[in-house]
Amino acid sequence: MSNTLTATACLECDAEVPWENGARVGEILECPECRIELEIESVEPPRTVLAPEVEEDWGE
């Protein structure tokens, strides 16, 4: 039995990005080909967006 729930196409390189069972909105997936991070925007229907870049605030 596989842990893969579904797969979506990477928004950058179009490679298949698999999702694990129990994936939730807001989780970050990494494309196995180009390594870009994708954020799960919707589970039903399955949809991802480019994950926001985290900026350092340097304590400001």
Residues 19-46: tens digit of each pLDDT:
888 899 999 999 999 999 999 999 888 8
Pairing of strands 37-42, 4-9: unpaired
Task: Give dist(CA 27, CA 32) in Å, integer.
Answer: 16
- Read off the pLDDT of each residue in 39-58 and give the average, rounded to a whole number: 85
Alpha helices in the chain (DSSP H): none
Residue 47 binned pLDDT confidence (cut-offs 50, 70, 90): very high
Task: Map residue 59 onto helix, strand or coil.
Answer: coil
Task: Give dist(CA 16, CA 1) in Å, integer.
Answer: 19
